[in-house]
Amino acid sequence: MATTEQNIKNHGRIVPMYHVGVFFPLLINLGWTIYRLTQGVTGDAIVQVLVAVGLMLMFVSVRVQILTVQDRVIRLEMRLRLARVLPAAQQAAIAQLTPKQLVALRFAGDAELPALVQRVAAGQLTTTKDIKTQVKDWQADFLRA
């Protein structure tokens, strides 16, 4: 667990092993294979560029898949949490919230969730940034992918 306080300014996460340790070698490999292709177009050089491009696409695809699964778990977690926290009159709003809105709302404390959900449902808070900037009792999430 991190010891620093988390807030809207620092809640983004960089995974050094992935974002640095994997990305930069793959990027260098792509650059090198393109350079080698410019030195002489051969079947081997073309295959190396294709493999390098495939590895870069896999890098992006893996991250997108990880974040998609994480967002699905957050969506489920937030629907359960909102069902527990929201008054009966607001329960219908849960089904109207988009996955991105649910992900943004996860940082809010239970006490402020009903008011935030009401503002989101009314269209007063339209973007995830709008929602996150309105959170007063920031609930840190250090277990994100």
Do 69 and 22 belong to one domain? Answer: yes
Region of residue 19 (left: phi > 0; alpha: psi -120 to 50; beta: else) = alpha
Do 104 and 63 belong to one domain? Answer: no
Do 67 and 25 belong to one domain? Answer: yes
Do 55 and 90 belong to one domain? Answer: no
What token pair was written down for 103? 């992900």
pLDDT of residue 6: 81
pLDDT in tens, the chain (145 residues): 555 788 777 787 778 899 899 999 999 999 999 999 999 999 999 999 999 999 999 999 999 999 999 999 999 999 999 999 999 999 999 999 999 999 999 999 999 999 999 999 999 999 999 999 999 999 988 887 7
- Calpha distance 9→28 (Å, rounded): 31
Domain count, the chain: 2
pLDDT of residue 15: 83
pLDDT of residue 88: 95
pLDDT tens digits, residue range 71-112? Answer: 999 999 999 999 999 999 999 999 999 999 999 999 999 999
Do 120 and 97 belong to one domain? Answer: yes
In a domain, 25, yes or no: yes
In a domain, 7, yes or no: no
Consecutive H or E run containing 3? none
The whole domain housing 59 covers: 14-74
| Predicted model pTM | 0.79
- Asked whether the beta carbons of 38 and 26 are under 8 A apart, the reply is no
